[in-house]
Structure 1
Amino acid sequence: MGKPVVYGAEYSVYVRIVRLVLEEKGVGYELVPVDIFAADGIPGWYFEHQPFGRIPAFEHDGFRLHETGAIARYVDEAFDGPALQPVEARPRARMNQIAGMLDAYAYKAMVWDVAVERLEKTPPDEAEIANGLRQARTALQALSSLKAEGPWLLGTDLTLADLHAAPIIGYFVKVAEGRKLLAEFADIWDWYARIAQRASFAKTERQGEETSVRQKALW
């Protein structure tokens, strides 16, 4: 099989999720830069890959996908390497529940309402940050309640749930409020410290500082 292609940018939380999955599977890939914040707008050709103009998009031997969850599951199932999804129905459902919960309730609160607001805005909207932290607390409480015994979110094995959560929480802890809140959840704090030490996490860190925090966080 040919080398897969990921369309997107290093600053993207969701592009990073896909790249983490590829790294954990040991799959070589090409990252084709797509700057959705370019002065001239999103490149016209990109809408053939993602009709809504968001990132990431993915292509493998002529097969195109968009939507991060679908891409992550395809990579896990189409390539050799360690399995990143449980076989049994209940833990697989839990994995999907965690990813869906993070998308629906954690991403905006942690990334936009707290981290971007604190790091990007002058002056920041303190009410927005406070609201984001309240939502983030609820999300962390839910994540803690769903976490199984063991080093990873589902227990002994690293899964797509871990790789989905890591970039979102990784952005949240860029600010002091995020670190302080995460420290209240010792199990999630320890989990994050563990996943942040993985080679895949280091390899997918954004290179350089030329992109604004707001750009890094959007997708």
Structure 2
Amino acid sequence: MSVFYCSLALFVILSPCSGLYFHIGETERKCFIEEIPGETTVLVNYKVEVHDPRSGGFMPSSPGIGMHVEVKDPDSKVILSRVYSFEGRISFTSHIPGEHVLCLYSNSTKWIGGTQLRVHLDIQVGEHAIDYANVAQKEKLTELQLRVRQVLDQVEQITKEQNYQRYREERFRSTSESTNQRVFWWSLTQLCILIGMGVWQMKHLKSFFEAKKLV
């Protein structure tokens, strides 16, 4: 079995959504990193297209070709892993802040002639993942009530992002302090070793001179 190739795309934390497309081959694996605050809803929309050798373009995929989607949290714990069809919508909620890894690969390794796929991917985070038209219809909200709901969700998301930034700063400060302590103790150890070697050399030279009756 061929070795999986993993390409990592790091998205900016404050960007509300990310739309892109990429090409994927047989037994190939594509992974993306998304920095997500805690308790935040993420919505992933994707669509698979198959390469058409006759036209040189891409056409809608057949129902037999789907995608296996796997999501891991910052602790490398799998929070989502299942096979979806050639087009779908995936939703999950982050329970801890940090870098979440989203991986996609084909559910089949028997494509005719090693067909290449094009995968359209759209990632929406926070309030951008909420379908407010559906919310307004279900809860029978007026336009003003819906707007207030959107503003409240935006404020909540901003608060989560600020908390995540503080979390990142604390983690960075902790790492910096730990590194500084290690550098300090390593420098102190080197100094002690040098002093010890100097003392030993002086004693050795003194013994040598005394043996030669030079002093």
**Structure with higher helix content:** 1
TM range (shorter): under 0.3
Q: Decide which structure has greater strand share.
A: 2
TM-score (norm 2): 0.25
Q: Could you state the TM-score of these two structures normalised by the residue count of structure 1?
A: 0.24
Larger gyration radius, structure 1 or structure 2:
2
